[in-house]
Copies of this chain bind each other. A is one copy, B any other.
Amino acid sequence: MFKTAKFNRISQNIVQQIRQAILKGDLQPGHRLPPEKELAENFGVSKASLREAFRALEALGLLEVRQGVSGGAFICEVDLETARNNIVNYIFFQNPSIREFTQLRIILEPAISRLAAVQATDEQLADIEDNLKESKMELDSGSFSYELDIDFHRRIADMTDNSLIHLVIDSMQSALVNIKKLIEPDYDFSLMVYHAHMRIFDALCSRDPEKAAGEMLRHVKEVGDGLTAFCDPKNLCASSSKKN
């Protein structure tokens, strides 16, 4: 009938109190909590227990503890990196297939490109162009980092000026990298990606929503098929050292 109250730990209790205070708005980013000794007395707990709570709150991205004379425990906004890492941790265990990634991307990315083609500022388009130039350089030098690839998609997501869309795309791209690292796409794959990015960029520049969406859809499908092809021939699912 009732959920068994799992955590009777003092530190957990403190974490919940502080998190609730933040969510209620009583504690805001930048706010400094009292010194350890004093706060421990307030809570009626030992310094050690309080410090355990601090470590948990830091892991959640809600607190930052700094040493030094004007240091202390400061409430923080949860940053994108923290949120992304937590999502990546979760997705790691779900171990979704390329098909699942592609299915979600097909839904999201063309629609986002459609919005981007309308809303993008010239400055944002210039940023994309920079990204493509860097990609070109990397490609010519024989390498291709995932960072630039992620960044391309993230910047398009940025054009929607929607923090939710930004978070979702950023997290999915980051999680997808873990798959790409296993697969280690070759030069031809990277070249294909580059060309697709170029076509998408052109569509955005010409402010053509349907073309942008269409090119993005093609790109996402191509990448999905490409990655699947890399997986398919020999290796079915296992972990491993498959060397061709």
Q: Taking beta carbons and an 8 Å cutoff, which residues of A are in contact with B?
A: 11, 15, 19, 22-23, 25, 29, 48, 51-53, 55-62, 77-80, 82-83, 86-87, 89-94, 96, 100-101, 103-104, 107-108, 111-112, 115, 160, 162-165, 167-168, 172, 175, 239
Contact = CB atoms under 8 A, between A and B. Distances in A.
Contacts of A23: 92
Given A55-B56, A111-B107, A78 B89 contact: yes
A181 B126 CA distance: 41
A79 B87 CA distance: 10
Contacts of A83: 86-87, 89-90
Q: Give chain A's interface secondary structure class.
A: helix
Contacts of A175: 164
A167 to B, nearest CB: 7
Contact of A93 (B78, B100, B162): B78
6 contacts: A11-B55, A15-B59, A100-B162, A100-B163, A100-B165, A107-B108
A92 to B, nearest CB: 6
Contact of A62 (B89, B96, B100, B164): B89
Nearest to A172: B164
B55 A164 contact: no
Contacts of A160: 103
Contacts of A60: 59, 86, 89
A59 B104 CA distance: 28
Q: Which of A19, A80, A103, A164 has the most CB of B within 10 A?
A: A164
A60 B89 CA distance: 8
A112 to B, nearest CB: 7
